[in-house]
Amino acid sequence: MAVKMEQMYEGKAKKVFATDDPGLCIVSYKDDATAFDGKKKGTIADKGEINNRVTNHLMKLLSEQGIPTHFVEELSARETLVKRVTIVPLEVIVRNIAAGSLSKRLGLPEGTKMGATVLEFCYKDDALGDPMVNEYHIAAMGWASAEELETIAAYAFKINEALSLYLKEVNIELIDFKLEFGRLSDGTLVLADEISPDTCRFWDSKTREKLDKDRFRRDMDDIEGAYREILKRLIGQ
């Protein structure tokens, strides 16, 4: 059993602690919510617990389907033991239906079906507003090798298929989502970070009601209710 040691890092939604095992960390999910690169701030009651449990549930599902992840063990309501990784500084975004920044950029009404799944990369840098980049920028800056990027893209599409199918069964449409990958000490790429209502657009399949962080970003009501609804549909509690 890994012993929790000093805090290594505090992000906007999570803290990361070292353990007595150099290959393992503990992630602790916060109720803090931010949007627009941290410019909008708030809290969402119980979000930390919900995102911890939802992420672990989905990571387990994905690892059963052959996606390597950083998940090791859920330790408590908001803490999880994960493999220590160096994060690839990219936000990997998969889009099934037009929404959010794609809708703005291309002038497509939210909810528009597109001809194919869209994969985007953004450079993780809040000060720069996480700018969108392509494979040439990624190669030029050395953020990931061509081989790593190929693996990331293949995992992203496979994750999209697995999650979309799974969520459909509980009447959730997976509109789009963001992934992050990390490298283990031997260079192996694994899925890291979280998969939660903070990082995905989940719409009710029938009503198309938003059940994710867009409720916070857009000052809508019952944000907590939406997060709880996702937990209930996925885990039944």
Binding positions for ligand ASP, rule: CB under 6 A = 12, 34-38, 213, 217
By beta-carbon proximity to ligand TMP, the closer residue of 24 and 156 is 156
Q: For residue 138, which of 119, 121, 157 has the smallest C-alpha distance?
A: 121
By beta-carbon proximity to ligand TMP, the closer residue of 17 and 177 is 177
By beta-carbon proximity to ligand ASP, the closer residue of 72 and 91 is 91
Question: Exactly one of 14, 70, 201, 210 binds ligand TMP (CB under 6 A); which one?
Answer: 201
Residue 34's binding partner out of ligand TMP, ligand ASP, none, with CB under 5 to 8 Å set by partner kind: ligand ASP
* Site mask for ligand TMP (CB under 6 A), range 84-113, x = bound: ---------x-----xxxx-----------
Sheet holding 79-83: strands in order across? Answer: 4-10, 14-19, 24-29, 79-83, 71-74
Per CB under 6 A, 178 contacts ligand TMP: yes
Question: Exactly one of 25, 72, 90, 200 binds ligand TMP (CB under 6 A); which one?
Answer: 200
Per CB under 6 A, 34 contacts ligand TMP: no
Per CB under 6 A, 68 contacts ligand TMP: no
Q: Cβ-closest residue to ligand TMP?
A: 100
Per CB under 6 A, 27 contacts ligand TMP: no
Q: For residue 196, which of 221, 171, 174 has the smallest C-alpha distance?
A: 174
Residue 200's binding partner out of ligand TMP, ligand ASP, none, with CB under 5 to 8 Å set by partner kind: ligand TMP
